[in-house]
């Protein structure tokens, strides 16, 4: 079983709640808090292997804020692009797909997953190279979102675009190069939105095969927002329009 290490009490509880296979949990000796006791009770109830260790042992796993708890879990699963799209289209009238081009920062990716889970994004597509790894940082930052939103890794995001086009799903790029803002667009129907990295944006080759572009209005000479913030703004405009 491929595994990843996650850290933090809430991240571990979310993994258990999502029924992710848990290999082992390490807990800090002497820890005491209501949340820690809740985790301990959950581990015992679910018969999940755990052991108490000194802080030095936990810090060998992670120098991050582990909150006295580290776990080894099954690696985050990804899904095949075509069957995932087909399943969603059979289940939903107005699905929302997200394509992430060159998002390499794990915290940004985790924050995007958190927002995506909050608004009910149906699937996220990332390229197999040039994307943030699906690791413990992503899981922790996503606050459980990494377990809620289907993720598909593909060789080329263009393949996703062409497959969506075949099903008449419009594709919209969020880019400061656009002439119209997101507030001028009709976002009520089925839709795929595409985000690029903050430094480079959406690659030219991908941008030119997308149906439409939109930007966020900016003032005070601010050129762009953090990509995870931009995702959240657009997601909630979609939710607002869909009522």
Tokens of 12: 């571990």
Q: How many CB atoms lie within 10 A of CB 82?
A: 13
Q: Are 195 and 165 in contact (CB under 8 A)?
A: no
Report the predicted TM-score, pTM, of the whole model to 2 decimal places: 0.88
Query: Residue 143, by phi and psi: left (phi above 0), alpha (psi -120 to 50) or beta?
Result: left
For the chain, the residue count is: 243
Cα gap 30→53, rounded to integer Å = 9
Q: Are 235 and 124 in contact (CB under 8 A)?
A: no
Helix or strand holding residue 227 (H, E): helix 227-242
3-state SS assignment for residue 72: strand
**Max Cα–Cα distance, the chain, nearest Å:** 58
Cα gap 196→101, rounded to integer Å = 5
3-state SS assignment for residue 30: coil
pLDDT value at residue 62: 61
Tokens of 23: 């290999």
What superfamily would CATH give domain 81-242? SPOUT methyltransferase, trefoil knot domain (3.40.1280.10)
The CATH number corresponding to 3-74 among 3.30.1330.30, 3.20.10.10, 1.10.10.10, 3.90.25.10 equals 3.30.1330.30
What value, to the nearest 5°, has the Cα angle with vertex 227 and ends 222 and 228? 125
In tens digits, what is the pLDDT along the chain, a chain of 243 residues?
A: 688 888 889 889 999 998 888 999 999 998 889 999 999 999 999 999 999 999 888 888 766 667 789 999 988 889 999 999 999 999 999 999 999 999 999 999 999 999 999 999 999 999 999 899 898 889 888 988 899 999 999 999 999 999 999 999 999 999 988 999 999 999 999 999 999 987 888 999 999 999 999 998 877 776 667 899 999 999 999 999 998
Name 158's Cβ contacts closer than 8 Å, sequence gap at least 6: 205, 206, 209
Cα gap 63→216, rounded to integer Å = 37
Name 214's Cβ contacts closer than 8 Å, sequence gap at least 6: 172, 173, 174, 175, 178, 180, 181, 182, 184, 185
Domain assignments of the chain as residue spans, ordered by start: 3-74, 81-242
Cα gap 187→80, rounded to integer Å = 26
pLDDT value at residue 191: 97
């Amino acid at each position: 079983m491929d595994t990843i290490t996650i850290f933090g009490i809430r991240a571990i509880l979310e993994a258990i709640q999502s029924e992710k296979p848990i290999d082992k949990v390490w807990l800090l000796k002497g820890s005491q808090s209501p949340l820690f006791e809740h985790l301990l009770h959950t581990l015992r109830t679910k018969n999940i292997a755990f052991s108490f260790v000194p802080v030095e042992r936990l810090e060998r796993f992670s120098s991050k804020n582990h909150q006295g708890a580290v776990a080894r879990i099954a690696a985050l699963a990804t899904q095949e692009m075509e069957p995932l799209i087909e399943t969603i289209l059979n289940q939903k009238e107005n699905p929302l797909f997200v394509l992430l081009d060159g998002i390499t920062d794990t915290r940004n990716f985790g924050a995007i997953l958190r927002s995506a889970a909050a608004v009910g994004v149906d699937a996220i597509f990332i390229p197999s190279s040039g994307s943030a790894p699906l690791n413990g940082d992503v899981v922790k930052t996503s606050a459980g979102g990494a377990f809620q939103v289907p993720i598909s890794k593909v060789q080329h995001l263009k393949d996703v675009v062409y497959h969506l086009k075949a099903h008449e799903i419009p594709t919209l790029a969020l880019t400061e190069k656009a002439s119209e803002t997101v507030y001028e667009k009709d976002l009520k129907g089925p839709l795929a939105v595409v985000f690029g990295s903050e430094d480079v944006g959406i690659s030219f080759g991908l941008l030119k095969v997308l149906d439409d572009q939109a930007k966020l209005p900016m003032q005070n000479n601010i050129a762009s927002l953090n990509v995870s913030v931009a995702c959240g703004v657009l997601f909630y405009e979609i939710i607002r329009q869909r009522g």
